[in-house]
Structure 1
Amino acid sequence: MDLLSAVVKFNNQTNGRDKLCRLFQYGTKCGWWSIEKLRDDPSLIKKLKDLEYHLGTFRKLLRFGKSLDILQGALKTLHLDDIALRATISLAKINQSLYLLLDHVIWLARVGLIDIDKKYWGKTSAKFWMTQIILNLTRNLYDICSAVSNELYKRNKSKRSRGDKNGDIEASINPAPKQTPLLLKVIGDNKPVFLDSAKNVADVWLPMSVLGHVNISPGTQGMLGVISSCIAILVTWNPTLKLVP
C-alpha cells in the first residue's frame, strides 16, 4: 500500500479522525498557553481557546454512540481465560463506556439541546475516565511482569539446556553468545504493551487535573495530550502495534 492510499484509509476511519482532532486540540492548548506566557495577545489567545473548545465538541460528535460499541466489547472480554486480563479489561471497558455515555450528554448540552450543570457532569465523566486509565495501567503492569517472567524463564531454560548438553567444563570454555539486555529484549518483543503503557501514563494526568487531584499547567496538559495522541495515531496507522485483546 502506497502512502496516499494509507492516508486515505486512515482518514476514512472515525477513530483516525478522532485521534487527529485530539492531536490538534491538545496542540492548540499548548499553543495558547505558550503565547500567554511569551507575549500579550488576548485576541489570538481567545481564538485558540475557542478553536480548542470547538475541536473538543467535534470530537464528542465523532464519538457519539461509541459507548454502546465499547459496552459490547466489554461483554466479549468476560470470556477471557486469564482472570487478571478478564477483570482489568472488562472493568476498564465498562468505565470507558460510562465515560463516553456522559460525554454524549455533555455534547447535547454544548449544542443547546439540553440544560445541565456541565461542570458537574464533566467531573463525573472524568472520574470514569480516570478509573478506566488506572485499570488499563494495571493491565499494562500485569502484561509487563508476565513478559519479563517469560523471558527470564526462557533464558534460564536455555542455560540449563546448554549445561546439560555440553557439560560444565565445556560450557565454561565456550561461553554462550552474548544476549540482548533483558529490558531491550522484552520491549522489542512486546511493543504494543509498552506503547499502550506510555499512552496511559501520559493520559492519566489529564482526568486527575480535571478532578483537582494534581495541579499541572494547561501547557503540560497539552503536551501530555499531544504525546498520547501521537501514540494513538501510530497505533491506528499500524494495527500490528495495537494491544490485544
Structure 2
Amino acid sequence: MEAWVRFSAQSQARERLLRAAQYACVLAGAALSRSGGSSGTLSRLQQLEAHLSLGRKLLRLGGSAEALGGAQRSLHLPDPVLRFCLTLSHLNRALFLACDNVLWAGKSGVLPGLAMEKWSQRSFR
C-alpha cells in the first residue's frame, strides 16, 4: 500500500496530462458534432473521453490513504487550532476521495449495482 501511495502522490503531472487529453476529446467531439462529422468517429471520441476519465480516477485511488496518513500526522501538532483544522481538512479530503473511489468502481463495472447518482451526490457534498 505504501508503494501505491508514493506512486499516486507523484502522478500529478500524469493526471494533468490525462485531463488535458480528456478535455481535448470533449472539445473535438463538440466541434465534430457541430460540423456534422461521422457518428462512428464521434462515438470513438466519447469512448476515449470516458476511458481517460476512468484512468484519471484510477490514478487517484491512493489519494484517500494518503489523506488519512496526513490526518494521522497532523494529530501530533502542538497547536490545538492548527491540529483541529488540518486534521479535519485531511479527513474531509479522504472522505471525498473514498466516495470518488466508489464511483470509479461503479463506472468501471467492479460494482455493477451501485446507485451512481446517490454516490455522486455524496462525493459532491
Scaled by the length of structure 2, the TM-score of the pair is: 0.71
Rounded to whole Å, the distance in 2 between the matches of 1:66 and 1:72 is 10
Larger radius of gyration: 1
Rounded to whole Å, the distance in 1 between the matches of 2:24 and 2:49 is 9
Calculate the aligned-residue CA RMSD, in Å. 2.6
Cross-structure match for 1:126: 124
Taking the TM superposition and a 5 Å limit, the aligned residue runs for 1:106-185 are 106-114=103-111, 115-127=113-125
Cross-structure match for 1:35: 32
Rounded to whole Å, the distance in 2 between the matches of 1:85 and 1:36 is 51
Cross-structure match for 1:178: none
Structure 1 unmatched runs, 5+ = 1-12, 128-245
Does residue 67 (structure 1) correspond to residue 64 (structure 2)? The answer is yes
Structure 2 unmatched runs, 5+ = 1-9
Scaled by the length of structure 1, the TM-score of the pair is: 0.40
CA contact (8 A) 1:25 1:52 kept: yes
Report the secondary structure of 1:96's partner residue.
helix
Count of aligned pairs between the two proteins: 114
Using the aligned pairs only, state the percent identity: 29
The alpha-carbon deviation at position 80 of structure 1 amounts to 7.0
Distance 1:97 1:112, change over 3 A: same
Q: 1:21-55, CA deviations, whole angstroms, 9 ceiling, x for partnerless residues?
A: 12212222222123223434322222111111111
Cross-structure match for 2:6: none
Distance 1:85 1:113, change over 3 A: same
Higher relative contact order (CA 8 A, sep 6+): 1
Amino acid at match of 1:68: A
Rounded to whole Å, the distance in 1 between the matches of 2:42 and 2:53 is 17
CA contact (8 A) 1:80 1:86 kept: no
Rounded to whole Å, the distance in 2 between the matches of 1:47 and 1:80 is 54
Rounded to whole Å, the distance in 2 between the matches of 1:37 and 1:86 is 51
Deviates more, 1:52-61 or 1:69-78: 69-78
Rounded to whole Å, the distance in 2 between the matches of 1:33 and 1:80 is 53
